[in-house]
Structure 1
């Protein structure tokens, strides 16, 4: 049984209510206004991620399909299939066949900002580390154990941090940013976000004065040490 204990009030104009009244009068059981409004909202929510075209959009799609066929354009999208789906009202088929195009996912700004910060931080770390003397690299390996031996950005966990990994891959592979990391898998195969957050908190004050400069051995050690959870730092040392 549907739980209807939550109360919801809405104020609207008479024209809107006339439209609701017309809709409910066409229903077999002629629901009252509140029930009609509830059903209409449910319909809207159910269809929020479904493919729908306005009359104008259908005309545009039809014209583009004709252009593709007339010019014999080789496209991954089959215009004949698209038009068959529209003519037949088989919009569900477009969701099935073009799921990569019709979806509700959108990267959150906070995720993108964090990934950019992490990539920027690791760009500085790897650049600085590559220019250290052998003696300083040995110092990093010793003082920043267990993360001081292979100082390289590993990416994000493909199982639990998929969105972060996807954003990083898009920035590097599709947008041409942070090319130092180009060609890497970027799947760390283990959660990394918590460690990166601790590292970035330590990096942020350093970053403010790094314009045109590089991280030194001491700073790199501090950042790599921050990656270790505080509860495990005694064991790591």
Structure 2
């Protein structure tokens, strides 16, 4: 949904009124955050029909960020389940990215849109709870790295789920893709 400036002002004023009256049937924090960060797609997801009738198509960058968060969830889950000898193998073979297999986030300065999408997904919408409470600012641009990793991860993703997590070999090959191909 595209919200015009006058509509944004009205929604923000209504959220203030809701807060003053202590009404709780609308998440005014999410409403404010979505408007201030230009992530109004989140309102369609969390409050369908409340803030308008025309659903905004989910932006491509939102889908991209969701894919990367999903990939990192699988990477962290698998890595945390391995014993120390396998973790050492991953650290050695996927140097330098295999030592601390933890989602680094997005660069708040150069990847601000991806960063704000991740923050609203995790902190406001309660998605990808594994990353809740973390600093999602990597302080270095990583979108291109994640794209290379996801290219390797996507064909593997279809076989993952309740009965299977990533193998050590899969974790290694995905982490190795984080390297710039030119180097």
Same fold (TM over 0.5): yes
Aligned equivalent of 1:229: 180
The answer (yes or no) to whether the contact 1:51–1:102 under 8 Å persists in 2 is: no
Aligned equivalent of 2:6: 51
Deviation of 1:109 (Å): 1.4
Deviation of 1:73 (Å): 3.7
Deviation of 1:50 (Å): 5.0
Aligned equivalent of 1:166: 116
Correspondence 1:113 to 2:68: no
Structure 2, unpaired ranges of 5+: 24-31, 42-57
Q: Give me the whole-angstrom Cα distance separating, in 2, the residues matched to 1:159 and 1:138.
A: 33
Q: Give me the whole-angstrom Cα distance separating, in 2, the residues matched to 1:102 and 1:172.
A: 17
Who wins on radius of gyration, i.e. which is larger?
A: 1
Q: Do the aligned partners of residues 205 and 102 (structure 1) sit closer, same or farther apart at CA in structure 2, a change above 3 Å counting?
A: closer
Aligned equivalent of 2:47: none
Q: Do the aligned partners of residues 50 and 204 (structure 1) sit closer, same or farther apart at CA in structure 2, a change above 3 Å counting?
A: closer
Aligned equivalent of 1:205: 155
Instruction: Describe the superposition over 1:51-97 as per-residue Cα deviations: whole angstroms up to 9, x where unpaired.
Output: 38xxxx9xxx9xx8xxx6xxx7479xxxxxxxxxxxxxxxxxxxxxx
Correspondence 1:187 to 2:142: no
Aligned length: 147
The answer (yes or no) to whether the contact 1:49–1:103 under 8 Å persists in 2 is: no
Q: Give me the whole-angstrom Cα distance separating, in 2, the residues matched to 1:151 and 1:171.
A: 21
Aligned equivalent of 1:133: 83
> Match for 1:220 among 167, 171, 175?
171
Q: Give me the whole-angstrom Cα distance separating, in 2, the residues matched to 1:117 and 1:104.
A: 20
Instruction: Describe the superposition over 1:147-197 as per-residue Cα deviations: whole angstroms up to 9, x where unpaired.
Output: 011110011000011111111111111111111111001000000100000
Q: Give me the whole-angstrom Cα distance separating, in 1, the residues matched to 2:93 and 2:38.
A: 46
Deviation of 1:227 (Å): 0.4
TM-score after normalising by structure 1: 0.56
Following superposition of structure 1 onto structure 2, how do residues 26-175 of structure 1 map, counting pairs within 5 Å?
51=6, 73=21, 101=35, 109-175=59-125
Structure 1, unpaired ranges of 5+: 1-47, 76-97, 233-237
The answer (yes or no) to whether the contact 2:86–2:168 under 8 Å persists in 1 is: yes
